[in-house]
């Protein structure tokens, strides 16, 4: 989405800078958050939203949320992502079909925001999900408005209820509901009149229609290109009509995106759909998490964070802890852990992302970590199960045999054994932490 390009670029720079550091001081976090704040303001995000957002992220970043499976920079990215999702509404918000059918969705909004186009898009979306919608042309202010909806209906082979220019919206709507029953459609989508600006007469007309139609959805169609104006418009419509949802149109445009990032937080009304083009199929349900990851521009990193947490934090950490406690953690386990890690991707890439390892990795030539891992693996594989479980029995002759078997030297075997013992000791003392740190001990002396 062109809309967030510049914001994404700025945020990426901030995180890149953070990522190049090992440990983060409070000042590092503050500096980064200052830049995040500026980037959001430049993207035209509402200043209150920015203030709230930054303070939530700061609080969590300096708080006690220590996760050993992530680097400090990754932890901040994770927090920013989660708070971005929260700002955008948390979970996906679906259409509500309350009461008996036909369910009514009333589309309201300013002139030119995309109501008529969106009515057709929504009808098509509903049909794709197995519903039977009827479109209603209740915008009686211009003959062209009725004609526009009728034409779209023909294009989509979708029923449209319309009357001659001049009929009153309330009469049109009353007769449209009978028509819906006659056609056995289960949704009625009402395209209402707009104005260039909010005015009292419009609000009264819409409020009266709402009382009459008892819609399960009152959806404000608002142009995301209008920035902070969109937020203002949404607040006013919501205070008069108690909106149930927002549809942001023209998200394909190259505005700065501030409206999209502010409107939910300011109004409390969920964004339900977005329009991403002029064509009738350029329309999607709104997913806060997808937009957040698009804005952050680091889908891969977020996937990694999720995977790493799942792998290390839960299952593995528990098993390891148990083994360490009962002192049965052997080289076999170590090998299994190494293999588990490899499943997640190329080792060099992973090492970059693993806490503690990332700094060390920076000092190594490319491929060195992979090389090291192969050595460790070869050595452990050349041991007997007994040796793996109890490395203390490995004497000089066993060491030479293992070296021959792995094609390496007895010194290499010693190195691996020493580091394993160090790791084991640290783990028993409870300061080695979870696997990634233990792994660090295997590769690099401290
Ligand atoms: N690029 C783009 N154009 C849109 C989108 N939604 C509506 N439009 C255009 O916006 C203009 C106004 O739309 P219309 O449905 O007539 O607005 P209404 O006055 O609120 O009924 C039309 O030219 C539409 O093609 C969208 O998501 N993306
Ligand atoms: Mg219209």
Q: What confidence tens digit (pLDDT) does each residue in 170-180 have?
A: 999 999 999 99
Q: Is the separation of the CB atoms in 4 and 43 below 8 Å?
A: yes
Pocket of ligand 1, candidates 246, 249, 251, 259: which has the most ligand atoms within 8 Å of its Cβ, to mutate? 249
Question: Rounded to two decimals, what is the model's pTM?
Answer: 0.72
Helix 331-343 vs helix 317-325: angle between axes, to the nearest 10 degrees?
Answer: 170
Pocket around ligand 1: residues whose beta carbon is below 6 Å from it? 109, 111-117, 194, 221, 249-250, 252, 275-278, 282
pLDDT band of residue 12 (cuts 50, 70, 90) is confident
Q: Is the separation of the CB atoms in 293 and 136 below 8 Å?
A: no
Residue owning the nearest CA to atom 19 of ligand 1: 112
Backbone region of residue 8 per phi and psi (left: phi > 0; alpha: psi in -120 to 50; beta: other values): alpha
Atom of ligand 1 nearest to the CA of 111: 19
Backbone region of residue 171 per phi and psi (left: phi > 0; alpha: psi in -120 to 50; beta: other values): alpha
pLDDT digits (tens, 9 = 90+) for 201-235: 999 999 999 999 999 999 999 999 999 999 999 99
Whether cis (ω within 30° of 0) applies to the bond prior to 28 is: no
Alpha carbon distance 337, 340 (integer Å)? 5
The SS3 of residue 278 is: coil
pLDDT at 430: 46
**Both structure tokens of 281:** 């199929």
List strand residue ranges (DSSP E) for 34-102, in order. Answer: none
Length, in residues, of the chain: 446
Q: Which residues surround ligand 2, an ion (CB under 5 A)?
A: 115-116, 145
Least confident of 182-186, 287-291, 348-352, 385-389: 348-352
Residue owning the nearest CA to atom 22 of ligand 1: 114
Residue owning the nearest CA to atom 7 of ligand 1: 114
Query: Across residues 91-112, what is the average pLDDT?
Result: 92
pLDDT digits (tens, 9 = 90+) for 121-161: 999 999 999 999 999 999 988 889 999 999 999 999 999 99
Mean pLDDT (the chain, rounded): 84
pLDDT band of residue 309 (cuts 50, 70, 90) is low
């Amino acid at each position: 989405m062109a809309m967030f390009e510049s914001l994404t670029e700025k945020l990426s720079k901030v995180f890149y800078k953070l990522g190049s550091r090992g440990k983060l001081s409070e000042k590092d976090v503050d500096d980064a958050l200052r830049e995040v704040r500026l980037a959001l303001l430049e993207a035209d995000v509402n200043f209150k939203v920015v203030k709230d957002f930054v303070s939530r992220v700061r609080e969590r970043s300096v708080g006690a949320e220590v996760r050993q499976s992530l680097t400090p920079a990754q932890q901040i990215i994770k927090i920013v992502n989660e708070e971005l999702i929260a700002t955008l509404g948390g979970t996906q918000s679906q259409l509500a079909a309350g009461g008996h059918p036909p369910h009514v969705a009333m589309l309201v909004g300013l002139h030119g925001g995309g109501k008529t186009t969106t009515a057709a898009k929504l009808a098509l979306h509903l049909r794709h999900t197995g519903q039977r919608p009827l479109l209603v042309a209740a915008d009686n202010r211009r003959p062209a408005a009725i004609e526009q909806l009728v034409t779209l209906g023909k294009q989509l082979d979708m029923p449209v209820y319309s009357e001659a220019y001049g009929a009153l919206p309330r009469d049109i709507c009353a007769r449209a509901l009978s028509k819906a029953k006659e056609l056995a459609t289960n949704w009625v989508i009402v395209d209402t009149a707009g104005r260039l600006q909010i005015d009292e007469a419009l609000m009264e007309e819409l409020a009266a229609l709402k009382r009459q139609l008892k819609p399960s959805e009152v959806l404000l169609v608002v142009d995301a290109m209008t920035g902070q104006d969109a937020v203002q418009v949404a607040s006013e419509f919501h205070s008069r009509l108690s909106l149930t949802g927002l549809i942001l149109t023209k998200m394909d445009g190259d505005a700065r995106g501030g409206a999209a990032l502010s409107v939910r937080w300011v109004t409390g009304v969920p964004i339900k759909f977005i329009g991403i083009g002029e064509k009738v199929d350029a329309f999607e349900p709104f997913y806060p998490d997808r937009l957040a990851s698009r804005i952050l521009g680091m889908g891969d990193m977020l996937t990694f964070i999720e995977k790493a947490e799942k792998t290390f934090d839960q299952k593995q950490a528990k098993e390891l802890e148990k083994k360490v406690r009962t002192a049965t953690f052997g080289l076999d386990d170590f090998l299994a852990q190494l293999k588990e890690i490899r499943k997640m991707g190329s080792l060099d890439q992973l090492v970059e992302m693993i806490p503690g390892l990332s700094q060390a990795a920076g000092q190594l030539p490319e491929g060195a970590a992979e090389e090291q891992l192969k050595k460790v693996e070869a050595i452990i594989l050349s041991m007997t199960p007994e040796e793996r479980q109890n490395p203390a029995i490995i004497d000089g002759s066993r060491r030479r045999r293992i070296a021959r078997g792995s094609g390496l030297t007895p010194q290499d075997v010693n190195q691996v054994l020493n580091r394993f013992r160090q790791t084991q000791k640290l783990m028993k003392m409870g300061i080695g932490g979870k696997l990634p740190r233990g792994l660090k001990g295997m590769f690099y002396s401290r």
